[in-house]
Amino acid sequence: MLRAVKEIEKISESVTSKVYSVKSMMNEELIVKVPKVSLSTGFNDLIFESQILRLYNQDEKTEGKIPIIHEEVFEIESESQSVFNYAVILNRP
């Protein structure tokens, strides 16, 4: 689980997401990717991208070259039980 944040900096922004560099109080260096797209239309694509990262990290050829998923965070609307926000937290390669 992500600890208290010491430093956060936006490092990239695209049409679909914002990417932040985060340094925790425990000096963990992480990347947080937050989608800008509507989860009602782009949710499956976001989950698919995370699953692809997980698969690539199981391959010896890509080990240490791409970020490893540290944690995925879902915010769920209590009444409808639908996901309304999502972020993926990655370890730096």
Token pair recorded at residue 26 = 């425990």
- 4-13 pLDDT tens trace: 878 889 998 8
CA dihedral 51, 5, 28, 61 (to 10 degrees): 20
> Per-domain residue ranges for the chain?
5-91
Query: Which residue reads 């990655």 in tokens?
Result: 90
Asked if pLDDT for residue 70 goes beyond 80, the answer is no
- 34-49 pLDDT tens trace: 887 666 666 677 777 7
Q: Is 36 exposed, middle or buried (0-12, 13-18, 19+ CB in 10 A)?
A: exposed
Residue of 52, 47, 24 lying closest to 35 (CA atoms)? 47
Which one has a higher pLDDT value, 69 or 65? 69
Q: Name the pTM for this structure.
A: 0.66
- CATH fold group of domain 5-91: Phosphorylase Kinase; domain 1 (3.30.200)
Average pLDDT, the chain: 76
